[in-house]
């Protein structure tokens, strides 16, 4: 049975909470990704998450200057995190129950990667066998 660790994206891209939204936009464009994990300031704090949707809805749509807004002002924190040994079904249920698209994969306070609904669909689902 596949687990979160089997299909997660390792080496998730992170950004400091004190970075500007403009910095986040630049990093997302360079990496061609839709979300960044926001680094936690201490081990006992959860990770945050900032997504393209957060930026568009909270900054762009309201006419704010991305150079003047900090990531910590628009990030979602705490964001849920998933253990690497969860099954794909368990992870899917957590994402469904919380309504989030992606979550960091964390074990013993260490960031291992990130998993998204796209990962589950593209890598966590069995390929259907078509009969002729």
For the chain, the first-to-last Cα distance in angstroms comes to: 27
pLDDT of res. 124: 80
Read off the pTM.
Answer: 0.81
For the chain, the average pLDDT equals 90
Any long-range contacts for 6-11 (C-beta under 8 Å, 24+ apart)?
6/123, 6/124, 7/88, 7/115, 7/119, 7/120, 7/123, 7/124, 8/84, 8/105, 8/112, 8/113, 8/114, 8/115, 8/119, 9/113, 9/114, 9/115, 9/116, 9/119, 10/112, 10/113, 11/113
Taking only the tens place, the pLDDT of each residue in 52-75 is 999 999 999 999 999 999 999 999
The residues near 104 (Cβ < 8 Å, ≥ 6 apart) are: 12, 37, 47, 49, 79, 81, 82, 111, 113, 114
pLDDT of res. 23: 98
- Does 109 have pLDDT greater than 90? no
pLDDT of res. 76: 83
The first and second tokens of residue 76, run together, are 């979602």
Q: Do residues 119 and 91 touch, judged by C-beta distance below 8 A?
A: no
Residues 88-93, mean pLDDT to the nearest whole number = 95
- Does 22 have pLDDT greater than 90? yes
């Amino acid at each position: 049975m596949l687990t979160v660790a089997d299909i997660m994206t390792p080496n998730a891209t992170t950004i400091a909470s004190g970075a500007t939204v403009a910095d986040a936009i630049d990093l997302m464009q360079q990496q061609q990704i839709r979300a960044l994990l926001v680094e936690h300031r201490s081990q006992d704090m959860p990770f945050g998450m900032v997504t393209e949707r957060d930026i568009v809805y909270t900054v762009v749509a309201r006419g704010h200057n991305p150079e003047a807004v900090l990531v910590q002002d628009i990030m979602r924190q705490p964001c849920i995190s998933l253990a690497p040994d969860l099954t794909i079904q368990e992870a899917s249920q957590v994402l469904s129950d919380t309504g989030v698209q992606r979550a960091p994969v964390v074990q013993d306070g260490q960031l291992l990667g990130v998993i998204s609904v796209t990962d589950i669909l593209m890598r966590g689902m069995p390929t259907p066998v078509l009969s002729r």
